[in-house]
Structure formats: structure tokens, C-alpha cells
Structure 1
């Protein structure tokens, strides 16, 4: 077992070395950052969808408080960095609009059915779960389909991009972000059941590690941690390989997107961290031998529900300008007001999603086959 563990670590380092040799040190570092994300999320059992469900159904606020802490730690460094290097670093900023809010709501519902958000879907797939891999395939397909219609959706009523740094300045934005996160945290703790309010030590550790990795991602990539763009790119490359011509679509004809579509996947920063995240989750799962026992077979109704929900999640995440990572985590951490709007809409969607999942699991009674929700 020790040999297997050592081999996995050495294999990840070998992949990073090959990336450094053929596509550059920057891409190798981003792959390793992604590995760190995967190790942290899977190894320390830190997630986004699961804690929201726990808060809704059991009044367990520990996971949500840990999320808010991770965002606050990231913001404390990211916002000053963005202010000091406006031409070199960019935030996860997007407009608030009808399509964005609806997309976040649908995503919030879907992630409870799939039992994983954007990062959780990658972790579930990487940890060796067949249903997680199935969800990832349809998430990719949905994200790609969303790019084909994004121009139409964004023409609906929407506000201009609004950011706290733009409204309050750098120091004011940081203060407002931390105060708002603290306020939400106080509400969560007040409504949580006794004994389920403050995170366990592993969640504190995970929050600190995620913040450190997110800041490193911002510095190395020049942009915040994201998930959805890379998945949509994978779908677009698959469609192109199958003979589709995307040169006339508004999204993929845009200069930056057309260049990424024509280039290797290994030169796309989001794809590199996504691939690293999958690898890190795989290493963490193998490290504790979690992949040895095959999961029970899920009911057909639940499997079909996961397929539909994953497809809807991918599509909706493109409309919402991100998932729990790109919109919620990175959006709020870099001062975008759309991150807060996303949070509210997605949490409302989760209230519906937990009911849909309960219905899908009700008869016949079945295990999802997934590991604990991410």
C-alpha cells in the first residue's frame, strides 16, 4: 500500500514535470494547484453542496461556516492583490441579470440531485465513482450547450458589472466583504442546532488550505479559481472533433475563446486545474482505499434524475457565470456583487433540490452510489 501511495505522488510529480517541459512551468504549477484542490476537497471532506443540504435538513451549519471562512481568507489577500495589479490580475466579475439569477437557481437545485457542485462533480468522478463520472459527462455537455445560447440569454434584462472595489474602493470593498460574510455566518450559527455550529478542526484546516490554493491560483493564472469554463471547453473540443463547426457561434468566435478552442487543452488554465483536481481526488481516495468496495447499484429513476440534473447544471452554470467555485467562492472573494446574487438564488434552488432528491430516492429506497455530497 505504501508503494501504491508513493507511486501516485510520484506520478503526479512526473505529470507536472512533463507539463513544465512541454507547455511551461506556469501550466505545471497550475496542475499542482489543482492537485492540491483535489487533495483538500476529498481528503478533508470539504464540499459545497453537502453543507448546504445539511443546513437545510439538519440545521448543521458547520460546513457553511467553513465555506464563508475560506472565502473571507481568500478575499483578505485577493482584493488587495487585485487593487495593486489591475492590469495583470482579474477578478471573477460578471453582471447580475435575469438569466444569471435563473441559472443560479437551477444550478442550486441540480447540485442537490447530483450531490455535488462543479468541484464536487470533479471530485466524485476523480474518486472513482461511476455515477460521478456519468454526472461529469453530462455536466460537460450542458456547459457546452450553454455557450451556444449565452449571447441570447445575456441580452435579457441585466445590470452592468457591479463590483465592491468599483463602488467602495479597495479598502472599503474588503471591509464590506468581510462584514457581509461575518453577518451571514452569524445568521447561520444562530439558526444551527446546538453542537452543529462551529466547524470541526479538519474543516478549519481545509478552509485555510483552499484559501491558500485559491490565492496561488490567482497569482499564477492571473485569474481566480474557476471550474465551468474548462468543462465547456472540453465539450466544445469534443464537438469539434466530431465535425461541428463552431466558428459562427458568438461565444466560440470571440478572439480569446477561439484561440483556446484551437489550442491544446493543456494550455488552458482552468482545464489544468480541473484535471489536477480530478487527479488529487483520485490520490486522496486511493490513499485511504476508498475505491476498493464497489458502490451499490442506484435505482434507475435516481440515475436518470442525476443525468438530467447534471445536464441542467452545466447549462445553468454557463448562464450564471460560474458554479459554487467561479461565482460563489471566487465572485465574492474578488468583490463581485453577482457572487452574492448567485449565492442567494442558488441557495433558494437548493431548497427545491433537496425535495427533488428525496422524491427520487423515495421508492424504491436506494443509495445514490455517490460518496458524501460535496
Structure 2
């Protein structure tokens, strides 16, 4: 579809949301479009950046991510300090987090996309990611059904840097931690490398601003995984195959309410839809850069997509919900997520290479 008729459709859907749902949901949809356009336009791939660092000793993608984390932390921690009614992306340090983050990091390399990557690449029309999207949603739903059992293996209460040290100190601690990550990348890569890419830096700035807008408008940080799980939960519940009242996760008041509301009322769902729209808008003039896959590659990729969805729920988020939103709003679980996911990705890139993706 060409950009003009697509732009008209996106505008009409924005007006529909504003008229029938709420102005807030319409604006969040517009924010999601911006996110999708920034991700797809800059090819801002969290998965790709990690893989390039490991396989090619190319630090540009990871440095772009560190810039994004630093900018988002400045915006988000300042907002959290000024407006206590805003919430942070807190997750409990737990056995579930350790296992989920590791498996997610492994499978995202095979599936060639994290939560946001799957969304925007599906919007670009890349076949594997389009096939993975519903399986990611199913995996996320099953993970939410079983996460209560996983948490029984061991957990502690969520720890937030803002509540522990105040927003100013939390920001300095976060920036120091990001500097250490950058120094580790420098030691890994060595000398004589190009460190910065304009496309990644522009994408980082755009995404940091949009993440801050999401926090202001929604009152909560940017997330992706919850929307996937909710979509599958609604389908399974409507088919009479699932009783949410008997489940620890979906019987919680907020989750039960979202399950019974129309999907357009959910904050994460509406930004996810916007991301798809924004990526689709970019794809009107950009190639999806996909190649034909063998049957074995399809099977391995789809299984990885399902496991990625399942593990993302156990880890309380993906590269967006756990890493970006977790770290930028001062959650300790985000700092735990990164090294475990990176350890998983070290194995994932080798499996990906074995199957010649």
C-alpha cells in the first residue's frame, strides 16, 4: 500500500479512537506510530545490535542502545521524581527472571527479533516475523498462566532505585552503570572500530522522547509483551478454553478488568497496534530485506518465537519492558535481565549460525 492511502487509514483510526474510546488512547496510538516508524526507519534492532557486537565486534548498535537508555533514564527518572503518581517498570528479582531472561536472549537471536523487533518487522512484511507474532502472543499468554508457579521457586520484592535513593541519586547510579556497560563493550571490541552510527543515534533520540511521552500520557512505562499475552488470553477466554478466575495472574483486579474490556482500552495493545502501523508506513517505501527460508529454518524460527513469548513473561518484559523501561525507571530487575539475556544471546547466535539464518 502506498503511503498516502495508508496515512489516511491511520488518521481515520486515530479519529475513531478519539471519538469512541478516548483522547488518551488516540494519542497513545499516535505515539505507537512514531515508535514503529523510528524502529523501522532506523532499523533500530536490539537483537541485531547484540549480534553485531558478538560476531563482528561492531559496537555501533550497542552504543546506540546505551545512548537510548541514558536519554530515557534522564527523562523518565526526572519525571518519576517530579510526579509520584507515575509508575516505574518494577519486576521482582526471582528464579523466574533469571531463567526467563536467559531463554529470551537465546531465542530472540534465532527468531531475529525481540518483542518490538517482531512487531516492527512484521509491519515491514518480513514473513518469519509475521509467522512468529501469533506464536509469541500464545507463548506470552501461557507464560502468564504459569508465572505464579515459577515465582514459587523463589523471589524477593521488587526494588526501585527511586524509592531507595531518590530520583537524582537513581539517575547518577543508572548513568554510572551504563558507563560501565559501555566500558565493557570497549574492552570487548578493542581499538580501531567505528563507535557511532548517525542512524542509530537519531533512532535513540526519537525512541527516548517517545518513551517519555508514553510515560506521561499512560502513567506507566512503555511495554510490549503484556499486549501480546492479552490478545491471546482474550481469544482463549472467548472460546471457553480458559477460566481467568482460577488463575493467579488473570484473576488480579487489573488483569481481569483488561480481559473483560475491549482491546482498544489497553495501553500496551494500543501502542503495539501503533507500532505495526508505523512500521507499515515505513515499509511503503522500504524493503523488508528478507530471504527465503527452508522448512527446517521455519520450524526452528517459529519454535524460538513461541519460547521467546513464554520466557518474556517469566522475565517480566523483553528488551523494551525489562531492559529499556526497567533500567530507565530505576528497576533492579532490568539490571539483572541484561547480563542473563546477553549470556543467552551468546548461545543463540551460534544456534542461528548453525541453521544458517
**TM-score using structure 2 length:** 0.97
Is 1:31 the counterpart of 2:29 in the alignment? yes
* CA deviation string 1:189-231 (max 9, x = no partner): 3432555442211111111000000000000010000000000
Deviations 1:275-328 (A, max 9, x none): 10011111101123x25x9x5431111111111111111111001000000000
| Structure 2 residue 157 is matched with structure 1 residue 143 | no
**Alignment map for 1:186-205 (pairs within 5 Å):** 186-192=183-189, 194=191, 196-205=193-202
Q: Which residue of 2 aligns with 1:95?
A: 92
Q: Which residue of 1 aligns with 2:247?
A: 249
Matches within 5 A, 1:104-115: 104-115=101-112
**Which residue of the partner structure matches residue 209 of structure 1?**
206
Runs of 4+ in 1 over 6 A off after TM superposition: none
1:128 aligns with 2:125: yes
Unaligned runs of 5+ in 1: 362-367, 369-374
Q: Distance between the aligned counterparts of 1:195 and 1:324, measured in 2?
A: 29
Partner of 2:348: 353
Question: C-alpha displacement at 1:242, in angstroms?
Answer: 1.8
Mapped contact 1:40–1:209 kept (Cα < 8 A): yes
Look up the match of 1:84: 82
Q: Is the 8 A contact 1:189 1:197 kept in 2?
A: no
Gaps in structure 2 of 5+ consecutive residues: none
**Cα offset for 1:274?**
0.4
- In structure 2, do the counterparts of structure 1 residues 240 and 182 end up closer, same or farther at CA, with 3 Å as the change threshold? same
What's 2:220 paired with? 223
Match of 1:153 in 2: 150
Residue equivalent to 1:317 = 312
Is the contact made by 1:60 and 1:193 (CA closer than 8 Å) also made in structure 2?
no
CA contact (8 A) 2:96 2:147 kept: no
CA distance in 2 between counterparts of 1:150 and 1:74 reads: 28
Partner Cα separation in structure 1 for residue 291 and residue 87 of structure 2: 44
Asked if the contact 1:121–1:132 (Cα under 8 Å) also holds between the matched residues in 2, the reply is: yes
Q: Give secondary structure in 2 for the equivalent of 1:253.
A: coil
Distance 1:194 1:285, change over 3 A: farther
**8 Å contact 1:37–1:210 — kept in the other structure?**
yes
> Equivalents in 2 of 1:344, 1:166: separation in Å?
24
Deviation at 1:186, TM superposition (A): 2.3
Residue 184 of structure 1, CA deviation? 1.0
Given that 1:16 and 1:32 are in contact with CA atoms closer than 8 Å, whether structure 2 keeps it comes out as: yes
Say yes or no: does 1:277 pair with 2:312.
no
> Partners of 1:255 and 1:234 in 2: how far apart?
17
- Aligned length in residues: 356
